[in-house]
Amino acid sequence: MTSNNLSKDHVDVVVIGGGSAGLGAAIALGRSLRSVVVVDAGRPRNAPSDHAHNVLGREGISPVELVAAGRAEAIAYGVRFVDDAVSEATRAADGFSIATASGREIVARRLILATGLVDVLPEVDGVAQCWGKTVLHCPYCHGYEVRGQCIGILATGPMATHQALLFNQLSDDVTVFAHTATPDVESLKQLAALGIPVVEGEVSRLDREGTEVRAVVLADGAEYPLDAVVVGPKFEARAQVYEWLGGEVTEHPMGYFVETGLMGKTPIDGVWAAGNIADLSAMVSVSSGAGVMAGAAVNADLVAEDAATALELAAVR
Ligand SMILES: Cc1cc2nc3c(=O)[nH]c(=O)nc-3n(C[C@H](O)[C@H](O)[C@H](O)COP(=O)(O)OP(=O)(O)OC[C@H]3O[C@@H](n4cnc5c(N)ncnc54)[C@H](O)[C@@H]3O)c2cc1C
């Protein structure tokens, strides 16, 4: 059973978020002839970067181009897009009622949450300005691009040593800046054994030219020239819609997320989640894959519901 008339404002599935995860879900559903609306606020997490890596077949593509291509593919299967932010979600008799910031209302039988996460960056001047360019977090996303360069690790939590080890694989010139999280004794021993220096003292700012980091500047004025800085953001799932529907986020040492079961099913009946909202470490390919699986699970759930309804109708005939 399909319906492709958005004016009815009643569809099989609303996907909230049109990044890698939401697009993966939308394409799987569109190919199953489901009526699908993707509501997307248009800010994919990796947009600050010029290139997306580890994307099979599209290595190094611009993140903006990647979602544009995914959107075009979804549209070709009849998926419709609303460029807006979901500002309200409630349970309705026949599913869920969604309202957007500009006042549009859509009723859907099922919901897929693909709203990603917010990277809460350390509050050091220069970090936000260079984020995604020369201030980095993930060795797999941009480590290769800074291989052999002078890299500083800005320690704000226990992950700093792990990051130092990973970036040490890519460069012989890695320094840990202890800042607000001096590594513990075992970590200090490990770093020393690998020849990774640890600089004590609070970092006051990053010296930079535009988005290019030039140096780490300590509170006492000491300057350490370098090419890239690695930070450990707090990862906060964009879980507002989930919470409006009564869901609760799950704490994680690196932030919080929406816990899901098989193929992205959440504890809320009729609601699935995919991508960074449900998996804080998911990269682009993993997010789109999780979206495809959530889309398939939602389609199967709708098929099962329609079969049960048909059976009931047949029984009273
Ligand atoms: C700087 C940086 C660089 C990265 N580089 C890489 C890389 O090279 N390779 C790689 O594999 N991964 C990379 N990643 C990780 C990658 O960004 C994520 O894996 C991916 O974006 C997750 O996809 P997603 O669909 O879950 O979320 P997102 O891509 O963040 O998409 C979520 C979408 O939902 C929308 N949205 C949020 N709230 C609402 C709402 N209320 N209503 C409507 N829409 C909403 C957002 O605007 C956004 O468009 C990088 C991450 C960062 C931070």
Superfamily of domain 6-119+234-316: FAD/NAD(P)-binding domain (3.50.50.60)
Assigned token pair, 171: 């460069």
Instruction: Read off the tokens for 20.
Output: 């890698």
Measured distance CA(156)–CA(103) in Å, rounded: 41
pLDDT, residue 6, reads 44
Task: Name which of 184, 161, 187, 183 is nearest 174 in CA terms.
Answer: 161
The answer to whether 291 touches 114, Cβ cutoff 8 Å, is: yes
Whole-number Å distance, alpha carbon 44 to ligand 1 midpoint, is 4
Do the beta carbons of residue 179 and residue 202 sit within 8 Å? yes
* Cβ 177 vs Cβ 153: under 8 Å: yes
Q: How far is the CA of 45 from the centre of ligand 1 (A)?
A: 3
CA of 116 to the centre of ligand 1 (A): 5
Segments of the chain scoring below 70 in pLDDT: 1-8
Domain 122-230 has CATH 3.50.50.60: yes
Residue 93 is predicted with a pLDDT of 87
Query: Hey, what are 267's tokens?
Result: 């504890």
- Give the residue extent of every domain in the chain: 6-119+234-316, 122-230
- Give the Cα separation of 28 and 101 in Å (integer): 27
The reported pTM is: 0.96
Domains 6-119+234-316 and 122-230 share a fold: yes
**For ligand 1, mutation pick of 87, 102, 115 (most atoms within 8 Å of CB):** 115
In angstroms and rounded to an integer, the radius of gyration of the C-alpha atoms of the chain is 23
> Residue 152 has which token pair?
């500083």
Cα–Cα distance measured from residue 137 to residue 143, given in angstroms and rounded to the nearest whole number? 9
Mutation test of ligand 1: which of 46, 49, 285 has the most ligand atoms closer than 8 Å to its C-beta?
A: 46
Q: What are the Cα distances from residue 82, in Å, to 2, 102, 121?
A: 19, 10, 29
- Work out the widest C-alpha separation in the chain, in whole angstroms: 84
Distant-in-sequence, close-in-space partners of 187: CB < 8 Å, separation ≥ 6: 158, 161
